[in-house]
């Protein structure tokens, strides 16, 4: 299912004139994103910020919050 969504997104971005690099990885999202940013020498991270319930946020936290706390590069959030 994730691969299908990734392919749709890739086609949309390509149709807009960009050349995306798409990769699907498994594991802890915060760590996988940080590893990918470092390995690919990325200098700007763009990511969605989607709200969850306050209880879930307090108990688990959010990927977005973890990335913002640990990022050494600029992060552009969209909602």
| pLDDT at res. 60 | 54
**What value does the CA radius of gyration of the chain take, rounded to a whole number of Å?**
14
In terms of phi and psi (left: phi > 0; alpha: psi -120 to 50; beta: otherwise), the region of 61 is left
Chain segment 18-59, per-residue pLDDT in tens? 999 888 999 998 999 999 999 999 999 988 877 666 665 665
pTM: 0.72
Q: Delimit the domains of the chain by residue range.
A: 2-78
CATH superfamily of 2-78: HUPs (3.40.50.620)
| pLDDT at res. 55 | 65
Residue whose tokens read 């992060």:
75
């Amino acid at each position: 299912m994730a691969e299908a969504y990734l392919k749709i997104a890739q086609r949309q971005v390509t149709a807009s004139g960009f050349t995306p690099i798409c990769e699907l990885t498994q594991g802890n999202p915060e760590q996988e994103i940080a590893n990918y940013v470092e390995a690919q020498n990325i200098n700007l991270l763009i990511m969605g910020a989607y709200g969850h319930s306050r209880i879930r946020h307090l108990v688990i936290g959010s990927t977005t919050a973890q990335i913002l706390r640990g990022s050494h590069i600029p992060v552009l959030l969209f909602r």
